[in-house]
Structure 1
Amino acid sequence: MKTEIHPEYAPVVFRDAGAGATFITRSTVKSDKTIEIDGTTYPVIDVELSSASHPFYTGKQKIVDTAGRVERFKRRAAKRQADEAAQAPTES
């Protein structure tokens, strides 16, 4: 590996603004804000979503069929099949 071309890889805290959860990990991200956890000071990055607040990970995800998308798809598929059947050569 070449020296002096890679960014510094150091411990960083990611703080979820919505859930209030904090995650200590390593990253090359820089921050002027700091937080003290267990007597150690870390740079902190505030994020809007994390696994603590994302609906997919929390089990609160809702699947919404807006404007009848499934029904619209079924109508298009049925129309296409009907069109293909009408265009198919008939055997005599």
Structure 2
Amino acid sequence: MKKGLHPESYKFVVFKDMSNGQAFLGRSTGGSKEMTKWEDGNEYPLIKLEISNTSHPFYTGKNVLVDTAGRIDKFKKRYEKKK
């Protein structure tokens, strides 16, 4: 791999899946103005996710559609067969 290609400023952040409330601690270069207290008692930046491996159908084996903006209904309405 090329040297100097990846950033050196990785820090610990908490990622929270907003669809099921699961959270995990990881390292990222991303930041956030929101902070949260983790299980170890320290505060870390909070990055909110719409979907993660704890809610994605590929990893869970459940086919659940998360439709937060009515996009599925709009799609079905637009492409339904006209009778």
Whether TM exceeds 0.5 here: the answer is yes
**Which amino acid in the other structure matches residue 24 of structure 1?**
L
Rounded Cα–Cα distance in structure 1 between residues aligned with 2:8 and 2:51: 25
1:46 maps to: 48
CA RMSD of aligned residues (A): 2.2
TM-score normalised according to structure 1 size: 0.58
Tell me which of the two structures has the higher relative contact order, counting C-alpha pairs closer than 8 angstroms and 6 or more residues apart: 2
Decide which structure has the larger Cα Rg and report it.
1
- 1:58 alignment partner AA: T
Per-residue CA deviation, residues 35-62 of structure 1 (Å, 9 max, x unaligned), is 0012110000000000111111111138
User: Partner letter of residue 32 of structure 2?
Assistant: S
SS in structure 1 of the partner of residue 58 of structure 2:
helix
Cα distance in structure 2, aligned partners of 1:23 and 1:31: 15
- Aligned-pair identity (%): 44
Structure 1 residue aligned with 2:36:
35
* Partner amino acid, structure 2, of 1:47: L
SS across alignment from 1:60: coil
Where does structure 2 lack aligned partners over 5 or more consecutive residues? 65-83
TM-score by length of 2: 0.63
Q: Distance in 2 between matches of 1:53 and 1:45?
A: 16
Higher helix share: 1
How many residue pairs align between the two structures? Answer: 60
| In structure 1, C-alpha distance between the alignment counterparts of 2:8 and 2:31, rounded to whole Å | 10
SS for the counterpart of 1:56 is helix
